Amino acid sequence: MYRYDHYDQAMVDSRVEEFRDQTRRRLEGMLSEDQFKPLRLQNGLYLQLHAYMLRVAIPYGTLSGAQMHALADIAGKYDRGYGHFTTRQNIQYNWIKLDEAPDLLADLARVEMHAIQTSGNCIRNISSDQYAGAIADEIIDPRPYAELLRQWSSFHPEFLALPRKFKIAVIASQTDRAAMKLHDIGIRMVRNDAGEIGAAFYVGGGMGRTPMIAPCIREFVPVDQLITYSEACLRVYNRYGRRDNKYKARIKILVHELGREKYTRQVEEEFAHLLTQGIEPPLAELKRIATFFADPPFETGLADDVDRSDPGFALWLDRNTLPHKQPGYAIAVISLKPVGGIPGDASVEQMHLMADLATRYSFDECRVTHAQNIVLPHVRKADLFAIWQQLEAAGLGAANLDTVEDIIACPGLDYCSLANARSIPVAQKISRRFSDTGKTAELGELKLKISGCINACGHHHAGHIGILGVDRKGTENYQLLLGGSEGDDTSLGKITGPGFDEDGIVDAVERATDVYLARRQEGERFLDTYRRVGIDAFKEAIYG
Amino acid sequence: MKILTGNDLKSGAVTWWTGYDWSIHVEDAVDVGDEADAIAAREEGARRVNAPCAIDAERDAKGGVRPVHIKDRIRALGPTVRPDLTLKPADPEAGNWVI
Ligand code: SF4
């Protein structure tokens, strides 16, 4: 894992002290809320439905055991005993007191973490593949590149006041596990015919009010020009992105309005200019960063056999573990989606346990996924049973990864002041419904995503089944979308028709899954059947 | 009726204007008529409230104050999915008041 150097630590520490002073001045009346609000937002502190909410950045979702312990301690000391892991691989605390926020940030800084640039019109936390460095299908570990981008984008003076917020994802596999094409910039590390590493740039994707899939604007940027090309993409956006209309200010609108060719041409011109300016950090810096991401000291000669005699464990093994690049090891995913639970929430005790498991069994590392689960990336297969037993005992043993119970849900109207409708109760009812009817296993891979408003933090556009909460004359209403995907075959879901109330949407989801069960062909997932038979068959069943 | 709500500056807690002070209980809220802006400006200036705003409310069957919009009722009670964290953790009917 990357470790802060003297400069990183000094920057974060001084920011904490700066915010401490700003907070003091606010509490003493020397700053008005209008003056203070942008300052607190620059430090991730929102005012939400019930209290202040703090969003903490988890760079590319990676945490050490000590960091996870610190997040747990913060949940206990400053919040109400839990935290919420988000679709941006971050964590949010819902009940923060303003006068305690500086101490909280100081506690975070002690474990090399912060909440800077988790709000506002700047480059947000860089996200990545949660299986980076562990999965066999990657061409290289994407995290050093994500870290380089993190360092470039942190406090970048030119990009702290963009037209709108800006999200970047970096992956290095053919399989996209980070919704890369639905980011402002999606970067896929690739190898060219000469075997050299470079980056394919996808620019102008996003969800929200106007969902768009990012087109590829360049298939290969040499690795020693990665930052320069990123800078060019941002510069063109910063120059021409719309500031007159918040709803048209994201880069996706600029790319769409200019057209891919014109935007690309402008980026290339800017890129050519920037190449003469020598802004690229030396490759030695990338090499220095990469040393932090070297493989841990894997044991060799380990057996791949696992005793499957316990049926509960065997189910978890099949559902929640993935092959590791190293023989004798596995990737284990801890589901934060217990049946009827709150997607992404973890208690202090659960966070401490996950931290302990990471330290003891996974070379002191865990990851947050954009699907709001936690990964132990490097686990000896021989340890899986012991891990599962401890997870089971802590209510973390749900064997439901990528099933209809593994629902992404944003905080919705239970916590979020922008929401139109509650997301969590719908997720709870759906997971209970499918658990009760026993259909979860039969349905196989089915990605269901719920957002409480058009901002789409719950990625509803990209769900095989998506649900969007809307406000219909003051009451909660839910639209159903089908056919979205955020993988290699990224697609945007289509709205089926009129919305439903809370119970109605649960029924509608079940009816959609019944169509799949009735019409699927050998080996088809829900999404495959939907794409083959089309939306009408589903509409007919849903609306009768 | 119009009632005035905001957040406590220091704790962030949701508060309601009672006519002379701020309470965390919506049932203490009073009708501010067309005084909302004046009260909000005065109280915000004195840092007794943050982000004040007037909302619509009505009297419920028991004579209590009930915000018209569900968002404000959730603000008044707490998250419906964590009854233990609401202002009325022991009241099984509290959720019905919100919905
Ligand atoms: S999608 Fe809307 S309701 Fe959900 S967290 Fe985002 S802004 Fe809030």
A451 in contact with ligand 1, CB cutoff 6 A: yes
Q: Between A26, A97, A422, which is nearest B11 by CB?
A: A97
Residue ranges making up the domain that contains B8: 2-93
Domain-embedded: residue B17: yes
Domain assignment present for residue B44? The answer is yes
Does the CB atom of residue A421 touch ligand 1 within 6 A? no
Distance (Å, whole) CA A234 – CA A240: 10
Residue of chain B whose Cα is closest to the Cα of A424: B81
Residues from chain B that touch A50, judged by Cβ atoms under 8 A, are: 12-14, 75, 78-79
Q: Find the A343 Cα to ligand 1 centroid distance in Å.
A: 14
DSSP β-bridge partners for residue A376:
A332
Strand extents, DSSP E, A302-433 = 321-323, 329-334, 345-347, 365-368, 374-380, 408-409
**How far does A67 lie from chain B, in Å, by closest CA?**
26
Has residue B98 been placed in a domain? no
Say yes or no: do domains A6-109 and A142-291 share a fold. Answer: no
Q: Is A169 exposed, middle or buried (0-12, 13-18, 19+ CB in 10 A)?
A: buried
CATH code reported for the domain at A311-393:
3.30.70.3340
What is the distance between the alpha carbons of residues A256 and A238, in angstroms, rounded to a whole number? Answer: 15
CB distance A59 to A143 below 8 Å: no
Burial class (CB in 10 A: 0-12, 13-18, 19+), A536: exposed
Residue B19 in domain: yes
- Determine whether the shortest distance from the Cβ of A289 to ligand 1 is under 6 A: no
Residue A302 CA to ligand 1 center (angstroms) comes to: 45
Chain B contacts of A415, Cβ < 8 Å? 79
Measuring CA to CA, which residue among B61, B71, B59 is closest to residue B99?
B71
Q: What is the pLDDT of residues B57-97, one digit of tens each?
A: 999 888 899 999 999 999 999 999 999 999 999 998 888 88
In this complex, do B70 and A474 lie within 8 Å of one another by their Cβ atoms? yes
CA-CA-CA-CA dihedral for A309, A315, A318, A324, to nearest 10: -70
Task: Give me the pLDDT at residue A51, please.
Answer: 97
Measure Cα distances from A159 to A25, A97, A280, A375 in Å: 27, 29, 16, 32
Q: Nearest 5 degrees, angle CA A83-CA A89-CA A95? A: 25
Where do the structural domains in chain A lie, given as residue ranges?
6-109, 142-291, 311-393, 408-543
| Mean pLDDT in residue range B25-52 | 96
DSSP letters, A274-309, are HHTTT-SPPHHHHHHHHHTTSPP---SS--------
Name, in order, each residue with C-beta under 8 angstroms of A208's C-beta and a sequence gap of 6 or more: A250, A454, A455, A456
Q: Using pLDDT thresholds of 50, 70 and 90, give the confidence band for residue B50.
A: very high
Residue A222, phi then psi, degrees to nearest 5: -55, 145
All residues of chain B having their beta carbon less than 8 Å from the beta carbon of residue A46 are: none
pLDDT for residue B94 = 87
Q: What pLDDT sits at residue A461?
A: 98
Asked whether the beta carbons of residue A33 and residue B51 sit closer than 8 angstroms, the reply is: yes
Architecture per CATH, domain A6-109, reads as: Alpha-Beta Complex (3.90)
Helices A526-533 & A502-519 angle (0-180, nearest 10): 80
* Binary contact (B81, A95; C-beta < 8 A): no
* Distance of alpha carbon A166 from alpha carbon A142, whole angstroms: 19
pLDDT of residue B4: 98
Alpha carbon of A412 to ligand 1 centroid (Å): 5
Q: What does the alpha-carbon distance between residue A447 and residue A228 come to, in Å, rounded to a whole number?
A: 36
The CATH number assigned to the domain with range A408-543 reads 3.30.413.10
Give the atom of ligand 1 at the shortest distance from the alpha carbon of A417.
8
Report if residue B99 sits inside a domain: no
Q: What is the pLDDT of residue A487?
A: 83
Asked if B47's CB is within 8 angstroms of A50's CB, the reply is: no
Q: Partners of A348 in the beta sheet?
A: none
Q: Is the CB of A452 under 6 A from ligand 1?
A: yes
Q: What's the start-to-end Cα distance of chain A, in Å? A: 54
Q: Is residue B9 part of a domain?
A: yes
Q: Is B33 inside a domain boundary?
A: yes
Task: Please tell me which residue of chain B has the smallest CA distance to A343.
Answer: B81
Tokens of A199: 């980056």
Residues of chain A with pLDDT under 50: none
Out of B12, B79, B80, whose CB is closest to A47? B12
Q: Give the residue among A49, A33, A57, A32 at the shortest CA–CA distance from A95.
A: A49
B75 in A contact zone (CB under 8 Å): yes
What is the chain B residue with the closest CA to A501? B99
| pTM exceeding 0.90 | yes
Nearest-CA residue for ligand 1 atom 2 is A453
Q: Exposed, middle or buried by CB within 10 Å (0-12, 13-18, 19+), for A268?
A: middle
Strands A91-96 and A52-56: antiparallel
* Element spanning A25, H or E: helix A6-27
- The answer to whether A542 and A512 have CB atoms below 8 angstroms apart is yes
Ligand 1 probe mutation, A87, A407, A410, A422, most atoms within 8 A of CB: A410
CA atoms within 13 A on the CB side of A355: 18
> How many folded domains does chain B comprise?
1
DSSP H or E stretch at residue A87: none
Measured from the CB, is residue A411 less than 6 Å from ligand 1?
yes
A366 C-alpha vs ligand 1 centroid, how far in Å? 26
Q: Tokens for A543?
A: 């609306």
Of A26, A50, A98, the CB nearest to B75: A50
Residues of chain A with Cβ-Cβ distance to B68 below 8 Å are: 474
- Å from B26 to nearest chain A CA? 13
> Quick check: CB of A49 below 6 Å from ligand 1?
no
What is the C-alpha to C-alpha distance for residues A508 and A504, in angstroms, rounded to an integer?
A: 6
Tell me what pLDDT residue B62 has: 84
CA of A413, closest atom in ligand 1: 3
**Under an 8 A CB cutoff, do B74 and A342 touch?**
no
Residue A159 — φ and ψ, nearest 5°? -120, 30
Domain A142-291 is found in CATH 3.60.150.10:
no
